[in-house]
């Protein structure tokens, strides 16, 4: 190997600073950008990378890992025994029952007639409404999912006509989509992947454009959130789904149009993760134009796509591009818009907080996370970005900020009272 080649951080126990530099350069990130994300100076970053100072404390290591999109602390520290998934929240008490329902084969003859697809669709509508309205939305849908999963599987297996079978497959795909929202950021990535793939298979079997679009949207998210090595797969999925839906759009109903818009934004989200500024904003603009074709009061129950969500999406693009000042500007523009879903509103507040954090406004970031907690505690509790900002503030030298962050951390269950 050439002496100028980038060393592999996994090949030998390289010092922390060297690993940090290797991972930073692989992301194409300058010292100035990393320093800005960490609230440090470029000289501080250079000193750590050169080994002129000791590796920072755990909370700063956490922040470095987040900034570099390192999913395991071991990738950065070199200590395998300290492997910690940075983006996984705690396991929900209902996770075991949901897992059991997903893994159950549901073989044999049912003791009573399986519910019809129409009946299951009505139950799903109740479940989505509960998710949007409840602050403890994971608990609500976690209670409903086991029965929905089992009944949807039975409906597919015992459908008596081809049309009933396709309708049951569409309901099963949407049930798995609901399960994906429950499983997100929980410590069972393999289960989430299984659900995402099953949803896509069921959607294709159904032939229903809406089901196919939703399943593709969620499968692309699963790839995007896995990291840079999956960005190409995420782009391929969104591109194929958009190409499939495009001929249908002139005569499409609001649901299909909304899913197509959500896919356009999803492509922009992945572009922002890549740092492709022009593509990210272009996709956002296309999605905005599609949102304007929907009624002003319309809100898609699964993707949240609507006119109301576009301001929140603009904040996300700016944050993912590490544009702190632009994130704050977009947050101010989006402030007047009310997002009807509590968990989606909380997610937007978290994205705003990330923007304020990037813009070196830690107290505003904390205040914004308090609003997220008020909207939906279970959203912020499972969000790695929110936890990182709060735990960093818990180490602040500013007494009032440290106290405020510690109180929020205790409420979220991150710290003992």
For residue 4, is pLDDT > 60? no
Phi/psi at 394 (5° precision)? -65, -20
Residue 113 is given by DSSP the state: P
Predicted local distance difference test score (pLDDT) of residue 176: 98
Burial 216-248 (b: 16+ CB within 10 A, else e): bbbbbbbbbbbeeeebebbbebbeebbeebeee
Does pLDDT of 237 surpass 80?
Answer: yes
Contact 385, 354 (CB under 8 A): yes
pLDDT band at 8, cuts 50/70/90?
very low
pLDDT at 13 over 60: no
First to last CA, the chain: 53
Per-residue model confidence as pLDDT tens digits over 170-228? 999 999 999 999 999 887 889 999 999 999 999 999 999 999 999 999 999 999 988 88
- Percent over 90 (pLDDT), the chain: 66
Structure confidence at residue 88 (pLDDT): 59
Give residue 74's pLDDT band: very low, low, confident or very high (50, 70, 90). Answer: confident
Q: What pLDDT was estimated at residue 228?
A: 85
pLDDT at 52 over 90: no
Predicted confidence at residue 5, as pLDDT, reads: 43
Q: To the nearest whole number, what is the mean pLDDT of the chain? A: 89
* pLDDT number for residue 187: 79
How many helices and strands in the chain, by DSSP H and E? Answer: 21, 0
Domain residue ranges of the chain, discontinuous segments joined by +: 16-82, 93-207
The pLDDT value given to residue 336 = 64
Return the pLDDT at 395: 77
Q: How confident is the model at residue 25 (pLDDT cuts 50, 70, 90)?
A: confident
Q: Give 145's Cβ-side CA count (13 Å radius).
A: 29
Q: What are phi and psi of 116, to 5 degrees?
A: -75, 160
Render the burial of 140-176: b for 16+ CB within 10 Å, e for the rest: bbbebbbebbbbbbbbbeebeeeebbbbbbbbbbbbb
pLDDT band at 89 (very low <50, low <70, confident <90, very high): low
Over residues 381-401, the mean pLDDT reads: 87
Residue 58 pLDDT class (50, 70, 90 cuts): confident
pLDDT of residue 85: 55
Determine the average pLDDT of the residues in 380-403: 88
> The domain at 16-82 falls in which architecture?
Orthogonal Bundle (1.10)
Distance CA(227)–CA(66), nearest Å, equals 12
* Angle, in degrees to the nearest 10, between helices 95-103 and 189-206: 50
Averaged pLDDT for residues 348-368? 95
pTM of the model: 0.80
Structure tokens at 50: 């050169």
Coil, helix or strand for 85?
strand
């Amino acid at each position: 190997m050439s002496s100028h080649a980038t060393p592999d951080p996994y090949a030998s126990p390289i010092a922390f600073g060297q690993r940090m530099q290797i991972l930073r350069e692989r992301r194409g990130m300058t010292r100035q950008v990393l320093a800005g994300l960490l609230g440090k100076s470029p000289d501080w970053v250079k000193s750590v990378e050169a080994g002129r100072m000791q590796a920072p404390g755990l909370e700063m290591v956490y922040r470095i890992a987040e900034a570099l999109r390192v999913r395991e602390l071991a990738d950065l520290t070199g200590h395998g025994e300290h492997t910690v998934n940075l983006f996984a929240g705690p396991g929900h008490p209902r996770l075991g029952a949901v897992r059991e329902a997903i893994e159950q084969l549901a073989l044999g003859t049912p003791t009573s007639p399986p519910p019809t697809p129409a009946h299951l669709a009505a139950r799903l509508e109740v479940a989505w409404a509960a998710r949007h309205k409840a602050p403890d939305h994971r608990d609500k849908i976690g209670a409903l999912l086991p029965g929905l999963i089992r009944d949807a599987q039975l409906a597919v297996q015992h459908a008596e006509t081809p049309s009933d079978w396709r309708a049951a497959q569409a309901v099963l795909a949407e049930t798995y989509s609901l399960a994906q929202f429950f499983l997100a950021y929980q410590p069972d990535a393999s289960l989430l992947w299984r659900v995402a793939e099953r949803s896509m298979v069921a959607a294709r079997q159904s032939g229903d454009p809406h089901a196919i679009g939703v399943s593709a949207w969620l499968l692309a998210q699963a790839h995007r959130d896995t990291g840079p090595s999956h960005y190409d797969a995420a782009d391929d999925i969104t591109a194929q789904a958009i190409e499939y839906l495009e001929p249908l759009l002139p005569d499409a109903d609001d649901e299909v149009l909304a899913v197509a818009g959500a896919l356009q934004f999803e492509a922009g989200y992945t572009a922002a993760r890549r740092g492709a500024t022009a593509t990210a904003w272009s996709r956002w603009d296309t999605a905005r134009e599609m949102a304007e074709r929907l009624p002003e009061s319309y809100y898609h129950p699964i993707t949240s796509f609507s006119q109301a969500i576009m301001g929140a999406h603009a904040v996300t693009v700016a944050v993912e591009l590490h544009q702190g000042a632009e994130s704050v500007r977009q947050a101010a523009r989006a402030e007047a818009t009310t997002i009807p879903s509590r968990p989606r509103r909380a997610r937007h507040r978290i994205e705003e907080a990330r923007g304020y954090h990037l813009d070196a406004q830690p107290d505003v970031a904390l205040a914004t996370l308090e609003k997220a907690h008020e909207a939906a505690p279970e959203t912020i509790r499972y969000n790695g970005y929110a936890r990182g900002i709060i735990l960093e503030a818990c180490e602040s030298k500013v007494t009032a900020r440290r106290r405020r962050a510690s109180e929020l951390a205790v409420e979220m269950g991150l710290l003992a009272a």
